Structures are given as structure tokens and as C-alpha cells.
Amino acid sequence: MKATDTLDPPNGQGTALETPLIHLEGIRKTYGPIEVLKGVNLSVAKGEVVAMIGPSGSGKSTLLRCVNQLEFHTGGTVSVGDATIAPGGHPAVRDLQKLRRKVGMVFQSFNLFPHLSVLRNVSLAQERVLGRSREEADQRSMQLLSRVGLADKGSQYPSRCSGGQQQRIAIARALALDPEAMLFDEPTSALDPELGVEVLTVMRELAENGMTMIVVTHEMHFAEDVSNRVVVMADGMIIEEGPSKQVMTAPRAERTQRFLRAVRDR
Ligand SMILES: Nc1ncnc2c1ncn2[C@@H]1O[C@H](COP(=O)(O)OP(=O)(O)OP(=O)(O)O)[C@@H](O)[C@H]1O
Ligand SMILES: [Mg+2]
């Protein structure tokens, strides 16, 4: 069952009337004289899975990084639940922590600590950020490692794990902080297709269990079959969005059609 099956009210109005968990309003981001986000509006309901696609350089990573404030936006507001961040940088540390606690992020490169065991990689932030005891943290880590199919890897070092396994460890590490939403930035693009499948299976399972997700991806099957909605970015703006099937099979914008043709012909 897709997460939205339980979210769609019977009157067919979709999730638009619900209070969104993630709400981006007029997000702008400039680097020096260059504006890379030009006023992006995006709302994501609790339990919704949004796939974000679009050409290289269109601002997808920058937008994700603004959601959890790895980058400070220069215009507009970012809200996640009751945490709201105004533009211009230097938000109050309390607000920043509140927001970051709500969103986990998974990157293309897994960024695991090479000198720590898999278990410690997943436990460390739980102890530092959530104040869990080592025992509590390790227990939660083992739960999550088995959820991502890696119960037997706890004592290994990351270098002994495949790329697909390392990415699943990174997902477990993000989940260990009990986020309300997860952001994925091309989580499979550094992996061989077969290893990518393992990661996509974990992501599909997360989606089916109601995790709120924004996934920047070139995996067209994931976008079409797992996400509820597809958002297309080009040149710092959302140029098209809609139900996944519709955008993927019958896109309206010429730019989207061109992009999808290029990806499929690759
Ligand atoms: N730190 C930075 N300083 C200056 N320009 C940047 C910086 N980070 C990103 N940019 C520029 O912002 C634009 C958007 O980049 P971004 O990485 O968000 O694109 P993307 O859609 O994620 O692309 P890709 O599909 O290749 O990952 C690009 O033109 C990029 O060169
Ligand atoms: Mg990117």
C-alpha cells in the first residue's frame, strides 16, 4: 500500500488541505551575483513521497540543502513542522537544532567514518545529539541495521562493506535520530545498478511505512512507482509538478519532455 492511500480524503482533494510537514515558500539562494534558486514553493504533506528530477545544475541539491539548512537560503521561508527559518543566514541555534532534528539527510557519497565500526557509525550521533546512553544507542542501531538488512555487519568497518551496504548504513544512521522526514540526494547514483536496487528496496519500504520523503533521483522507476508526486526543477525553479504517473508518462512542459527523453535514451 502506498503511503497516500491512507492520506487521500474520500472527496479526492488529495493532501493539499493538510498542514504540510515541509513548507518552502519563495525560496531564493544566491551565490555572489548568481541566483541558483529563484523563488521555489513546495509543500510536502506528512507521509508524502516527493521525487525531484531535473537537469544538472538546476538547483535540486541546493534546495534540499536549504531544507535542512546545510545552506542558508537568501530569500523566503523554510518550515519543517513548527520550526521556521527566516532568510539571510545566522538563524538562532535553537531554531536550527529544532529544524535539523526533524530531517535526516542521505547523500550520494555515504560519508561514513572509516575508523569506526558500522555500529559506532550509527550510534555516535544518537549519543551526541539525543543524549542516548551507549547501550540504548547500540540497541537502536542494531534494530535499524537489521531493518536495512545488515544485522550481521555491526562489528565490520565501512571499508569492508559494499557501496550499497554503506549507503544502507548511512540510511540507518539518519533514521537513528528519529527524523520526521528524510531527504535523499541521488542516493543510488554512485552505485552499480545491482547495489542500487538494495538501497531502493530500503527506500521503498520506508515510503510504504509512511516516512515523509523528498528524493532527488535519476531512478525513473522509483519516481514513477514509489513517489506520490514528481517535481521537476529547471534553472532554479519548479517548472512542473503533479502525480508521479502523469508527470513521468505525460509531462506537460517541453523542458520536462526533453529531460525525460534524454534520461531514457542514456
Ligand atoms: N557553493 C557554491 N558556490 C557557487 N555556486 C554553487 C555552489 N553550489 C552550487 N552552485 C551552483 O548552483 C547551481 C545549482 O547547483 P546544484 O548542485 O543545486 O544543482 P543540481 O540540480 O543538484 O545538479 P546535479 O543534478 O548535477 O546534482 C549550479 O549552477 C552550481 O554551479
Ligand atoms: Mg545535485
Which residues make Cβ contacts (< 8 Å) with residue 75, sequence separation at least 6? Answer: 26, 27, 28, 29, 39, 87
> How would residue 108 be classed by pLDDT, with cut points 50, 70 and 90?
very high
Task: Give the nearest ligand 1 atom to 58 CA.
Answer: 21
What pLDDT sits at residue 138? 98
* DSSP 8-state code for residue 142: H
Q: Is the pLDDT of residue 10 over 70?
A: no
Whether 199 shows a pLDDT value over 90: the answer reads: yes
Residues in Cβ contact with 96 at an 8 Å cutoff, skipping those fewer than 6 apart: 69, 85
Are residues 185 and 203 in contact, defined by beta-carbon separation less than 8 angstroms? Answer: no
CB 207 within 8 Å of CB 3: yes
Q: How far is the CA of 124 from the centre of ligand 2 (A)?
A: 27
Confidence of residue 75 (pLDDT cuts 50, 70, 90): very high
Q: For position 17, what pLDDT does the model report? A: 54
User: Which helix (H) or strand (E) covers residue 239, if one does?
Assistant: strand 237-243
Distance CA 159, CA 206 (A): 26
For position 7, what pLDDT does the model report? 40
Residue 197 Cα to chain centre, angstroms: 17
To which CATH superfamily is domain 3-265 assigned?
Answer: P-loop containing nucleotide triphosphate hydrolases (3.40.50.300)
Pocket, ligand 1, Cβ cutoff 6 A: 31, 36, 56-62
Residue among 53, 58, 73, 184 to mutate when testing ligand 1 (max atoms within 8 A of CB): 58
Average pLDDT over residues 15-34: 87
- Interval 132-152: pLDDT, tens: 999 999 999 999 999 999 999
Return phi, psi of residue 224, to 5°.
-75, -40
In the prediction, which pLDDT does 168 show? 97
Contact 205, 221 (CB under 8 A): no
Helix, strand, or coil (residue 119)? helix
pLDDT value at residue 30: 97
Ligand 1: which of 28, 31, 52, 65 to mutate, judged by most atoms within 8 Å of the beta carbon? 31
Is pLDDT of 8 > 90?
no
**Is the pLDDT reported for residue 266 higher than 60?**
yes
pLDDT tier at 264 (50, 70, 90 boundaries)?
Answer: confident
Q: What is the mean pLDDT of the chain?
A: 92
The total of other beta-carbon atoms located within 10 Å of residue 180's CB is 15
pLDDT at 124 over 50: yes
Distance 192 CA to ligand 1 centre (A): 24
Question: If you measure from the C-alpha of residue 207 to the centroid of ligand 2, how many angstroms do you get, rounded to a whole number?
Answer: 21
Nearest CA to ligand 1 atom 6: 31
Q: Which residue has the higher pLDDT, 1 or 64?
A: 64
- How much is the pLDDT for 13? 39
Q: What does each C-alpha distance from 162 to 3, 110, 141, 191, 195 come to in angstroms? A: 30, 11, 19, 9, 8
Helix (H, G, I), strand (E, B) or coil at 104: strand
Residue 38, C-beta contacts closer than 8 angstroms, at least 6 positions apart: 28, 235, 236, 237
Instruction: Pick the ligand that lies closest to the CA of residue 59.
Output: 1
**Ligand 1 closest atom vs CA 71:** 1
The pLDDT of residue 1 is above 70: no
- Mapping DSSP to helix (H, G, I), strand (E, B) and coil, where does residue 152 land? helix
Q: Which atom of ligand 1 is nearest to the CA of 31?
A: 4
| Alpha helices, H only, 80-156 | 93-102, 118-130, 134-147
pLDDT computed for residue 265 by the predictor: 86
- Residue 60 pLDDT level (bands cut at 50, 70, 90): very high
The residue with greater pLDDT, 234 or 266, is: 234
Asked whether the predicted pLDDT for residue 153 surpasses 90, the reply is yes
Tell which atom from ligand 1 comes closest to the C-alpha of 55: 25
Sorted by sequence, the CB contacts under 8 Å of residue 233 that are 6+ apart come out as: 40, 52, 53, 54, 58, 59, 60, 63, 239
> Ligand 1: which of 30, 52, 62 to mutate, judged by most atoms within 8 Å of the beta carbon?
62
Average pLDDT over residues 51-66: 97
Sequence letter at residue 223? A
